[in-house]
Amino acid sequence: MEATNDPFALPIHWNDYEDIAIALYDRFGDEFGESQIYRIRFTDLHKWVLEIPNFVGQPNESNEGHLEMIQSNWVYEWRSNQK
């Protein structure tokens, strides 16, 4: 993903779980359902987070707790977009 040209976009850090979840849902939509989101490898999730526009966190700042919270928030975002 390319960095956004939005001058008002705020930087995203590892603990911005909701912003990350929204970005992941925007990228993947309904490609992953609830159970699939929880089965995504942390190595893949880590890579995808680093590709988010305006993400400024460093790869070594990530930990299992951050990735679990990102998964949970992604599931909540996915659920809120189901009709």
List the chain domain ranges.
Answer: 17-80
Considering the chain, what is the average pLDDT of its residues? 93
The span from the CA of 6 to the CA of 78, in Å, is 25
> Residue 62 — pLDDT band, cuts 50, 70, 90?
very high
Would you state the pLDDT for residue 49?
98
Report the CATH number of the 17-80 domain: 1.10.10.600
Residue 2 has pLDDT above 90, yes or no: no
Q: What are phi and psi of 33, to 5 degrees?
A: -90, 180
Would you state the pLDDT for residue 9?
82
How far from each other are the two terminal CA atoms of the chain, in whole angstroms? 28
Would you state the pLDDT for residue 38?
96
Q: Which whole-number Å values give the CA distances from 30 to 21, 41, 43, 45, 80, in the listed order? A: 13, 18, 20, 16, 12
The span from the CA of 35 to the CA of 32, in Å, is 8
pLDDT, tens only, 16-43: 999 999 999 999 999 999 999 999 999 9
The span from the CA of 44 to the CA of 32, in Å, is 13
